[in-house]
């Protein structure tokens, strides 16, 4: 999750408190595992995720990004389970030695539906939540600011260091380094450059540490925030209700079985 | 008031002394420039003035560092930081990475210290206006050029309104207009009572804005005086200090006997105009022409 | 005199859409010391990055050593054009200074002993010969810039491009860079430098190109260009200290160095306060 994947459309979904969305994601995670039937995941996708995506005006990116991640997974899943599910007896399709069983397909459906649901929920979270807002909201909710810093600075420094690496590579080409097209040989040529780049990151860390201290990062005062994170009573209630529903999803089937 | 008495410092790993028996006195509410060659120990001195040596960097520090009546080595780092702001030499490293916009970056320090929200918004707007980076407030700090990052780094310390500000080559990445602007801002800050110590190379601007200069050479303070005195001193080359072209030309004129040997050398444009505008055979420039 | 560099109606547009160079035509002869000046965003760096192929023309042609840059890679052009980047930390990567300076010559085909000899000579030129075994991080930023310069000097290219060589340098560093510029040209090689330091420019460059808004606003002999007060103002370029002073004193002479200034002072009329501009 970098800010590059955040799609800022300013919709109501975007304006939800990030912790609300995170709690929703975690609740969904618990629910679809507690109730593993494929139609549970399908209800979540159709009833919650897709409408949210439409409201957030992220339907297109959701399908695009989600599809890119899911397509290979789903294809492999269907093939593997369809062809090789143990205990698969009911032949649905046959071609020589290969046969696809309906038990296998059903298994793939159950597992696949869960994966689809979770991936789409995660992607939707990333698309509608700026990482900075998420970190701020979590910090306000009690997470350590140092943890928030580690995540944010990593997210920002990785592209910054990558462009530094590009600049270093460019400078070496300007000194006659021929960079081969062959990817393996390319990596071989770049290796000696990467070592010092990484080392440079570590020696910079000391200076960055000083700069952070100079900005009061070690302060024990109660932190404030420049921008207010949106929240509402309804959301605060929802942040209790959703986990309760998730717990219920776990507990009720167990109780049902016992009875 | 800043007072360093007999301060010596050696690096933790090499044990090599970078500063020896440094004595320094800085009056409150002034702009003090520290000049000298690169690598002469300026960054080390900047860290000592702000408490980062010894609290963060270790090594052997002897002598006393007293700021506002309190010895820094006895204070916890948080107290040092609230007294003395430090702008480090490399703007890229000063940017925290904790915030995604310049606005957030400027507010970061204040958020850590628990400054009320309205106050933060006001200070961000004010400092951004001063340094002319208002149009950069919504951009990511990592998208900016080196010079822009340097302005953001300076701004991020100015918002904290520390009584003392120590700045290590704050205009190294800036073009002439940007450099003049930053020095202008420092003069304004002095007007509000801030004590500023700036490590710099640029003679014209130091002469125009600094109240006093100290030369760091040979691991100690080799000379102290007004900018006019220091920047026209015959030892500037030896110290690794830049002199303006006006001074260099005047020095040559003196060597060639075109002006009397005791004529004080000009540093600024105005002084040079007076110096060279006189008639060689009638009136040598008087001591009042130089500051 | 042979032609080292030619820009023919060069246009360059960045992928984001900004046209940074909007039609520049320029010829530089071998042995010239050319300074390119102008405020940030004028297109100076964009222009010179075409010389070693980092950027390719959107339209127009760039000739180096008489041949177009079009079919040569950056690494190939490096044999003709040495480029010293503004930020030495992007260029220095080896664990010792000596090894870093040898990198360029090795890539250009020198044997290890040739490269070592060139590196030693280049480091001596920038007065860092005693630091050859040190790790770059042990040097000050000013010294690291000199190492980056040495790294390109060791390549002994016909053309040397310097991107802001005096920024962040102390007095001695500026003197060393100035000496390098003069000695490169004395060897008949060409120097193209982007600089904000007009005094450095006046003292060490024969020709000044003023850029603004992606176009050349003035191009010619140093004295002549710095006389174009209106153009300089529009391009946000300040004249060098001594030229400003001479103009203010109402002199006819246009001295570029302290020596020229003092020399002129013995002959010029002394009318304090007469402004000629």
User: Domain with B191 in it: what CATH number?
Assistant: 3.40.50.300
CB atoms near residue A228 (< 10 Å): 9
Do B108 and B195 have their domain in common?
Answer: yes
Please check whether residue A204 lies inside any domain of the structure: yes
User: Does B229 lie in the same domain as B256?
Assistant: no
Average confidence (pLDDT) over C144-150 = 95
pLDDT tens string B148-178: 999 999 999 999 999 999 999 999 989 899 9
Residue A175 domain boundaries: 144-214
Say if the Cβ atoms of C155 and A167 lie within 8 Å.
no
Q: Which of A148-162, A230-244, C224-238 has the lowest mean pLDDT?
A: A148-162
pLDDT of residue A213: 86
Other beta carbons within 10 Å of C94: 19
pLDDT computed for residue C141 by the predictor: 85
Does the residue A7 lie in any domain?
Answer: no
Domain count of the fold of chain A = 2
Same domain, residue pair A49 and A164: no
CB pairs under 8 A between B and C: 102
For chain C, percent helix, then strand, then coil, each to nearest 5? 40, 20, 40
User: Could you tell me the end-to-end alpha-carbon distance of chain C, in angstroms, rounded to an integer?
Assistant: 36
- What residues of chain A lie within 8 A of the CB of C52, using their CB? 174
**Which among C39, C139, C143 has CB closest to B175?**
C39
Residues A187 and A251 in one domain: no
pLDDT at B285 over 60: no
Q: Tell whether A151 and A100 lie within a shared domain.
A: no
Q: Are residues A150 and A181 in the same domain?
A: yes
Asked if B56 has any chain C CB less than 8 Å from its own CB, the reply is no
Mean pLDDT of A40-65: 89
Q: What pLDDT does residue A4 have?
A: 64
Instruction: Name every chain C residue with its beta carbon within 8 A of the beta carbon of B273.
Output: 245, 248-249, 272-273
**Whether A158 and A80 share a structural domain:** no
> Hey, are the CB atoms on B38 and C141 less than 8 Å from each other?
yes
Q: Which domain covers residue B25, as residue numbers?
A: 2-239
**What share of chain C has pLDDT > 70, as a percent?**
96
Task: Between B290 and C189, name the one with better pLDDT.
Answer: C189
| Cα A87 to Cα A72: distance, rounded to the nearest angstrom | 25
Nearest-by-Cβ selection for B111 from A156, A210, A224: A224
Inter-chain contact C93–A197, Cβ cutoff 8 Å?
yes
Which residues of chain B are within 8 Å of residue A148 when distances are taken between CB atoms? 98
Which helix (H) or strand (E) segment is B8 a member of? strand B2-10
Per-residue model confidence (pLDDT) at position C1: 64
Q: Residue range B205-214: average pLDDT?
A: 96
Give the tokens for residue C113. 């002993």
Q: For residues C77 and C25, is the Cβ–Cβ distance under 8 A?
A: no
**What local confidence, expressed as pLDDT, does residue A203 receive?**
67
- Lowest mean pLDDT of B254-263, C122-131, C197-206, C209-218, name the range: B254-263
Is A60 domain-assigned?
Answer: yes
- Give the C-alpha separation, B116 to A224, whole Å: 7
What pLDDT, on the 0 to 100 scale, is given for residue B283? 42
| Residue A16, domain member (yes or no) | yes
A108/A171 same-domain check: no
Mean pLDDT of chain C: 92
Write out chain B residues lying below 8 Å of A145, CB-based.
112
Does residue B279 register a pLDDT over 60? Answer: no
Pair B66, B22 in one domain? yes
Residue C170: its chain B contacts at CB < 8 A? 36-38, 201, 240, 242
Option in B201, B245, B274 nearest C242 (CB): B245
Q: Indicate whether B40 pLDDT > 80.
A: no
To the nearest whole Å, the CA of C260 is away from the closest chain B CA by 9
Nearest to B198 by CA among B68, B86, B291, B77: B86
Mean pLDDT of all residues in B5-17: 86
pLDDT of the residue at A35: 87
Q: Does residue C84 contact residue C152 with C-beta atoms inside 8 Å?
A: yes
Contact of B102 with B152, CB cutoff 8 Å: yes
Residue B86 confidence (pLDDT) above 50: yes
pLDDT band at C213 (very low <50, low <70, confident <90, very high): very high
Residue that is written with structure tokens 């004010």 in the block = B126
Q: Domain check: are B190 and B65 in the same one?
A: yes
Say yes or no for a CB contact (<8 Å) between C107 and A178.
yes
- The DSSP code sequence of A118-134 is HHHHHHHHHHH--HHHH
Q: Are residues B144 and B31 in the same domain?
A: yes
Name the pLDDT band for B59 (thresholds 50, 70, 90).
confident
Let me know whether B226 and B271 are in one domain.
no
pLDDT band at residue B281, thresholds of 50, 70 and 90? very low
State the total domains in chain B. 2
The neighbouring-strand residues paired with B66 are: B3, B71
Q: Is B75 helix (H, G, I), strand (E, B) or coil?
A: coil
Phi and psi at A176, nearest 5°, equal 95, 5
Structural domain contains residue A2 = no
Between chains, do B113 and A219 touch, taking CB under 8 Å as contact?
Answer: yes
Q: Answer yes or no: is A221 within a domain.
A: no
Same domain (yes/no): B82, B165: yes
Whether the CB-CB separation of A102 and A92 falls below 8 Å is answered with yes
User: Is A257 strand, coil or helix?
Assistant: helix
Rounded Cα gap, residues A111 and A103, in angstroms:
12
Whether residues B204 and B272 share a domain: the answer is no
What's the pLDDT at A168? Answer: 85
Pair B179, B64 in one domain: yes
- Per-residue confidence at A2, pLDDT binned at 50, 70, 90? low
Asked if residue A111 and residue A24 are part of one domain, the reply reads yes
B14-40 mean pLDDT: 90
Nearest CA in chain B to A2: B100
Cα(A125)–Cα(A129) distance, rounded to whole angstroms?
Answer: 6
Candidate from B47, B78, B99 with C-beta closest to A218: B78
d(CA A47, CA C157): 68
Task: Name which of A1-10, A24-33, B220-229, C24-33 the model is least confident about.
Answer: A1-10
Q: How far is C156 from chain A (nearest CA, A)?
A: 11
Q: Is residue A189 part of a domain?
A: yes
- Residue A57: which pLDDT band, with cuts at 50, 70 and 90? confident
Instruction: Please list the residues that pair with B204 across neighbouring strands.
Output: none
Q: How far is B253 from chain A (nearest CA, A)?
A: 45
Of C191 and C140, more confident: C191
Token pair 């970098």 is at which residue? Answer: A2
CA-nearest residue to A202 within chain C is: C137
List of residues 6+ apart from B122 with CB closer than 8 A: none
> In the prediction, which pLDDT does A14 show?
85
Whether residue B160 is found in the same domain as residue B279? no
Q: Which of A124-128, A229-233, B41-45, B186-190 has the highest mean pLDDT?
A: B186-190
* Facing residue for A211 by CB, picked from B88, B111, B121: B88
Prediction ipTM score: 0.90
Nearest CA in chain B to C139: B39
Extract the runs of DSSP E, i.e. beta strands, from C120-239. 159-163, 190-194, 207-212, 215-221
Chain A residues with CB-CB distance to C87 below 8 A: 167
Which chain A residues touch B95 with a CB distance below 8 Å? 211
**Which residue's structure tokens are 């002095």?**
B190
- pLDDT averaged over every residue in chain A: 85
Which residues of C lie closer than 8 Å to A, measured between beta carbons?
52, 54, 73-75, 78-79, 82-83, 85, 87, 89-95, 103-104, 107-108, 137, 151-152, 155
pLDDT at B31 over 90: yes
- Mean pLDDT, rounded, for C8-21: 93
CA-wise closest residue to C77 among C113, C118, C107: C107
**Which of residues C55 and B277 earns the better pLDDT score?**
C55
What is the per-residue pLDDT for C173?
Answer: 93
Higher pLDDT, C218 or B261: C218
**pLDDT value at A58 more than 90:** no
Residues in chain C: 277
Kindly state whether residues B73 and B118 are assigned to the same domain: yes
Residue closest to B198 by CA, chosen among B229, B172, B159 = B172
| Cβ contact B172–C141 (<8 Å) | yes
Query: In terms of domains, do A84 and A189 share one?
Result: no
Contacts 24+ apart (CB under 8 A), A32-38: A32/A113, A32/A114, A32/A117, A32/A118, A33/A114, A34/A246, A34/A249, A34/A250, A34/A253, A35/A249, A35/A253, A36/A110, A36/A114, A37/A110, A38/A109, A38/A110, A38/A112, A38/A113, A38/A114
Q: What is the pLDDT of residues B93-126, one digit of tens each?
A: 899 888 999 999 999 999 988 899 999 999 999 9
A118-127, A191-200, C73-82, range with the lowest pLDDT? A191-200
8 Å CB contact between C155 and C78: yes
Q: Please give the average per-residue pLDDT across A201-206, as a whole number.
A: 73
* Residue A1 domain-assigned (yes or no): no
A chain contacts of residue C90, beta-carbon cutoff 8 Å: 164, 167-168, 170-171
Residues B127 and B47 in one domain: yes
Q: What is the pLDDT of residues A62-99, one digit of tens each?
A: 899 999 999 999 999 888 888 888 877 777 777 777 77
Q: Is the pLDDT of residue C207 over 50?
A: yes
């Amino acid at each position: 999750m970098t800010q590059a994947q955040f799609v800022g459309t300013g919709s109501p979904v975007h304006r939800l408190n990030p912790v609300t969305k995170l709690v929703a994601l975690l609740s969904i995670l618990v629910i679809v595992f507690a109730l593993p039937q494929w139609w549970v995941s399908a209800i979540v996708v159709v009833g919650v995720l897709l409408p949210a995506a439409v409201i957030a005006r992220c339907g297109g990116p959701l399908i695009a990004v989600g599809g890119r991640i899911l397509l290979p997974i789903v294809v492999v899943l269907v093939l593997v389970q369809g062809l090789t599910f143990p205990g698969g007896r009911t032949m649905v399709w046959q071609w020589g030695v290969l046969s696809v069983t309906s038990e296998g397909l059903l298994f793939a459906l159950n597992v696949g539906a869960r994966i689809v649901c979770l991936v789409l929920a995660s992607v939707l979270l990333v698309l509608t939540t700026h990482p900075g807002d998420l970190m701020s909201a979590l910090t306000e909710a009690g997470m350590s600011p140092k943890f928030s810093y580690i995540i944010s600075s990593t997210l920002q420094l990785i592209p910054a260091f990558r462009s530094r690496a590009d600049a270093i590579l460019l400078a070496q080409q300007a000194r006659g380094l021929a960079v081969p097209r062959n990817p393996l040989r390319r990596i071989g040529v770049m290796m000696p450059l990467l070592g010092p780049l990484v080392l440079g990151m570590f020696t910079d860390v000391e200076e960055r540490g000083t700069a952070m201290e100079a900005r009061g990062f070690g302060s024990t005062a109660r932190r404030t925030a420049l921008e207010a994170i949106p929240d509402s009573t309804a959301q605060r209630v929802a942040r209790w209700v959703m986990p309760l529903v998730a717990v219920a999803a776990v507990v009720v089937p167990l109780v049902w079985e016992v009875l | 008031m800043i007072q360093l008495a007999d301060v010596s410092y050696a690096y933790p790993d090499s044990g090599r002394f970078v500063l020896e028996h440094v004595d320094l006195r800085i009056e409150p509410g002034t702009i003090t420039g520290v000049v000298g060659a690169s690598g002469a120990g300026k960054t080390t001195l900047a860290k000592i003035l702000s408490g980062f040596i010894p609290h963060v960097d270790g090594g052997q520090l002897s002598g006393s560092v007293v700021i506002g009546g309190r010895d820094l080595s006895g204070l916890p780092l948080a107290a040092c930081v609230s007294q003395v702001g430090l702008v480090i030499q490399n703007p890229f490293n000063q940017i925290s990475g904790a915030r995604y916009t310049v606005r957030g970056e400027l507010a970061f320090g204040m958020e850590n210290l628990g400054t009320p929200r309205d106050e933060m918004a006001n200070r961000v707007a004010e400092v951004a206006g001063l340094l002319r980076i208002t149009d950069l407030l919504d951009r990511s700090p990592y998208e900016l050029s080196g010079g822009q990052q340097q302005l953001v780094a300076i701004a991020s310390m100015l918002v904290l309104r520390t009584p003392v500000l120590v700045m290590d080559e704050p205009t190294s990445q800036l073009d002439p207009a940007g450099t003049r602007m930053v020095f202008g801002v420092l003069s304004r800050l002095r007007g509000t009572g801030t004590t500023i110590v700036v490590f710099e190379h640029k003679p014209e601007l130091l002469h125009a804005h600094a109240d006093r200069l100290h030369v760091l050479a040979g691991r100690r303070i080799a000379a102290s005086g007004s900018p006019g005195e220091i920047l026209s001193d015959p030892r500037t080359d030896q110290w690794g200090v830049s002199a303006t072209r006006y001074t260099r030309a005047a020095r040559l004129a003196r060597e060639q006997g075109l002006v009397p040997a005791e004529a004080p050398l000009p540093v600024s444009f105005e002084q040079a105009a007076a110096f060279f505008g006189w008639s060689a055979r009638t009136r040598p420039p008087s001591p009042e022409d130089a500051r | 005199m042979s032609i080292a560099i030619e820009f023919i109606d060069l246009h360059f547009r960045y992928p984001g859409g900004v046209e940074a160079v909007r039609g520049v035509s320029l010829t530089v002869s071998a042995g010239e010391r050319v300074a390119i000046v102008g405020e940030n965003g004028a297109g100076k760096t964009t222009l010179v990055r075409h010389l070693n192929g980092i950027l390719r023309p959107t339209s127009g042609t760039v000739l180096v050593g008489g041949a177009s840059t079009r079919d040569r890679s950056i690494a190939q052009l490096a044999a003709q054009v040495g480029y010293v980047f503004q930020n030495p930390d992007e260029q220095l990567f080896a664990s010792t200074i000596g090894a870093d300076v040898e990198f360029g010559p090795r890539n250009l085909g020198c044997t290890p002993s040739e490269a070592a000899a060139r590196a030693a000579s280049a480091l001596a030129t920038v007065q860092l010969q005693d630091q050859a075994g040190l790790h770059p991080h042990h040097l000050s930023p000013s010294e690291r810039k000199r190492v980056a310069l040495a790294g390109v000097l060791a390549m002994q290219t016909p053309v040397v491009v310097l991107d802001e060589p005096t920024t962040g340098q102390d007095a001695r560093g500026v003197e060393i860079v100035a000496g390098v510029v003069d000695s490169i040209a004395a060897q008949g090689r060409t120097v193209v430098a982007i600089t904000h330091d007009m005094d450095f420019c006046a003292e060490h460059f024969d020709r000044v190109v003023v850029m603004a808004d992606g176009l050349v606003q003035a191009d010619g002999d140093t004295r002549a260009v710095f006389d174009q007060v209106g153009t300089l103002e529009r391009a946000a370029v300040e004249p060098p200290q001594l030229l400003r002073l001479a103009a203010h004193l109402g002199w006819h002479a246009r001295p570029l160095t302290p020596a020229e200034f003092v020399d002129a002072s013995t002959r010029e009329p002394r009318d304090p306060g007469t402004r000629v501009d």
